[in-house]
Amino acid sequence: MTESTDRRATGTDRVKRGLAEMLRGGVIMDVVNPEQAKIAEDAGAVAVMALERVPADIRRDGGVARMSDPAMIEGIKEIVTIPVMAKARIGHFAEAQVLEALGVDYVDESEVLTPADEAHHIDKWAFTVPFVCGATNLGEALRRISEGAALIRSKGEAGTGDIKEAVRHLRSILGDIRAITQADSTELYGWAKKLQAPVSLVQEIAEKGELPVPLFCAGGIATPADASLVMQLGAQAVFVGSGIFKSDDPAPRARAIVEATTHFRDAGLVGKVSRNLGDAMRGEESNKVETRLSERGW
Amino acid sequence: MPKIGILALQGAVREHAQALADLGADPLDVRVPGDLAAVDALIIPGGESTTISMLLDSAGLREAIAERLGDGLPVFGTCAGMILLATEVVDGRPDQRSFGAIDIGVRRNAFGRQVDSFETDLAITGLVGEPFPAVFIRAPVVERAGPDVEILATVDDEPVLCRQGPVLVAAFHPELSGDLRLHQLFLGGI
């Protein structure tokens, strides 16, 4: 038997992406206080996203949306045993540093908050904490991965309760991946140019047939059937923002979305858990909103 | 070719399936009690133990799995799987129940939060060759091991790989490191 080494490597790709792999098939829920965090954990959430206002309220209230109060994030960390994520503004590496120092488990560099940098995202390789970033298409996803993101989520149109943007983003990302697997080696350079993404990542996709990191869905999920839809399209887990705590009766809806995400191919079960949940969040059509959050990010 | 069920309610299911397929075994997702009938052994993967525990009840799988475990079904639990197979869970949720298939007490998230998650090279009793590349993600440790439990590897003197009869548990994720030796060890015991 060879000796164990005492060396421990933290913040490696494998460790960062590994936590995302562990969240597969699960639901990550937006929460704004410890009480909601408890409801989310009780309903079977695999993680919570701590933020001050859910996207629907950010839309309604307007103003600049920033990182949450650290005291609020600490309050949530104390009450749940599941991973806690929190959002930093696009390009705001100082907010991300604070979140890392607080010991959050994942940082979401999020378009839901007001961007802090109009040209640059955070250099995520510089951190031990892993990052999740939103994307509307494959090029955006690959640029975020090249900056060190360990998990990609579709952006959708947060706070609308309208699923169509998330569907468009997933179809765009996964459709291009399917096309790349059919391309020959010369065409991959053309793909890299078209996507404005590193050719090495395009080649990796051609070889593996999927992103180098997990792909989750966010933005507009409001019902168990929405979760089933995006999982069948190829998302590996779902983020639910306003969809739970802006609905009539959050706890049973949260539980139903968890069940539907696990058994997403079982239409009978999705139907069963969808019964008598009360009204879903009212929402608004994504093409009628004033501010398109999904257009933030470069 | 042995049929190996993988509890597929939530978590890192497909990495285990890949490892098993690479070794010539036949992986099979287990989501409902009926899926269990065909399996010769079971893997309980990493994921969130609180979530998986809840989904075990709603899918009606808890009793079905407990029954097979009682009959000596070989089982391999990694991370959350180790927590679910233990006799006691410290720091879990009060309503979280485990199978009690191996006489150990475990503490969840014992190494800290995600920023403390790590990779290390692990010496494993009975494994020939290089140390095992072990990936620990918000990992549990074994705080108490009963007299019939073999301790196969430790970190800071705390057990992280244990075996008792047909039950093998790891606090880390052999399915993430691409090293098939622990899956091979498990398949060898079937």
Our answer to whether residue A164 is catalytic in this structure is no
| Averaged pLDDT for residues A186-190 | 98
Cβ separation A24–B51 shorter than 8 A: no
Residue B27: the pLDDT is 97
CB-based contact A277:A249 (threshold 8 Å):
yes
A251 in contact with B, Cβ within 8 Å: no
CB-based contact B72:B166 (threshold 8 Å):
yes
Residue A1: the pLDDT is 44
Which structural domain, as residue segments, surrounds residue B60? 3-188
Q: Which helix (H) or strand (E) holds A11?
A: none
The C-alpha of B80 sits at a distance from chain A's nearest C-alpha, in angstroms, of 9
- The beta-carbon neighbor of B115 closest among A6, A9, A10 is A10
Euclidean distance between CA atoms B98 and B86, whole angstroms: 6
Own/partner pairs, A248-253, CB within 8 angstroms, 24+ separation = A248/A277, A248/A278, A248/A279, A248/A280, A249/A277, A249/A278, A250/A36, A250/A39, A251/A39, A251/A42, A251/A43, A252/A277, A252/A278, A253/A277, A253/A278, A253/A280
| A288 or B134: which leads in pLDDT | B134
| A291 or A247: which leads in pLDDT | A247
Euclidean distance between CA atoms A201 and A212, whole angstroms: 8
Task: Quote the tokens at residue B101.
Answer: 């298939």
Residue A59: the pLDDT is 86
| Averaged pLDDT for residues B106-116 | 94
| Averaged pLDDT for residues B94-108 | 91
**ipTM score of the complex?**
0.95
Instruction: Give the contacts of A17 (CB within 8 A, at least 6 positions apart).
Output: A130, A150, A151, A212, A213, A214
Euclidean distance between CA atoms A33 and A54, whole angstroms: 11
Instruction: Give the contacts of B120 (CB within 8 A, at least 6 positions apart).
Output: A4, A5, A6, A7, A8, A9, B134, B136, B155
Cβ separation A2–B113 shorter than 8 A: no
pLDDT digits (tens, 9 = 90+) for A208-234: 999 999 999 999 999 999 999 999 999
Residue of A nearest to B31 (CA): A263
Cβ separation A25–B13 shorter than 8 A: yes
- The beta-carbon neighbor of A46 closest among B10, B14, B125 is B10
Q: Report residue B90's pLDDT band, with 50, 70 and 90 as the boundaries.
A: confident
Instruction: Provide φ and ψ at B18, rounded to 5°.
Output: -65, -45
Output the average pLDDT for chain A: 95
Judged on CB neighbours under 10 Å (0-12, 13-18, 19+), A297 is buried
Going by the DSSP 8-state scheme, the letter that residue A298 receives in this structure is -
pLDDT digits (tens, 9 = 90+) for B40-56: 999 999 999 999 999 99
Euclidean distance between CA atoms B50 and A119, whole angstroms: 40
Q: By C-alpha distance, which of B27, B167, B16 is closest to B86?
A: B167
Exposed e or buried b per residue across A245-259, where buried means at least 16 C-beta atoms within 10 angstroms of its C-beta: bbbeebebbbbbbbb
Residue B13 has pLDDT above 90, yes or no: yes
| Averaged pLDDT for residues B151-173 | 97
Question: For chain B, what's the residue count?
Answer: 190
| Averaged pLDDT for residues B93-109 | 90
Euclidean distance between CA atoms A164 and B65, whole angstroms: 39
Instruction: Provide φ and ψ at A150, rounded to 5°.
Output: -105, 0
Residue A283: the pLDDT is 87
Residue A122 has pLDDT above 80, yes or no: yes
| B24 or A281: which leads in pLDDT | B24
Residue B173: the pLDDT is 98
| Averaged pLDDT for residues A110-120 | 96
Cβ separation A103–B115 shorter than 8 A: yes
Q: By C-alpha distance, which of A110, A195, A187, A184 is closest to A146?
A: A195
Instruction: Provide φ and ψ at A3, rounded to 5°.
Output: -70, 150
Euclidean distance between CA atoms A250 and A30, whole angstroms: 12
Q: By C-alpha distance, which of A35, A36, A69, A31 is closest to A50?
A: A31
Residues 99-158 on A with a CB inside 8 Å of B are 100, 103-106, 128-130
pLDDT digits (tens, 9 = 90+) for A2-16: 456 668 999 999 999
CATH number at residue B31: 3.40.50.880
- The beta-carbon neighbor of B118 closest among A10, A46, A100 is A10
Cβ separation B137–A15 shorter than 8 A: yes
How many domains does chain B divide into?
Answer: 1
* Among the ranges given (A56-70, A112-126, B49-63, B143-157), the one the predictor scored with the smallest mean pLDDT: A56-70
Q: Which residue has the tokens 């991370």?
A: B79
| Averaged pLDDT for residues A136-148 | 98
Count how many pairs of residues, chain A against chain B, have C-beta atoms within 8 Å: 141
pLDDT digits (tens, 9 = 90+) for A158-175: 989 999 999 999 999 999
Cβ separation A14–B123 shorter than 8 A: no
What is the share, in percent, of chain A residues with pLDDT greater than 90? 87
Q: Give the CB-side neighbour count of residue B164, counting CA atoms within 13 A.
A: 16
Q: By C-alpha distance, which of A105, A163, A192, A195 is closest to A294?
A: A163
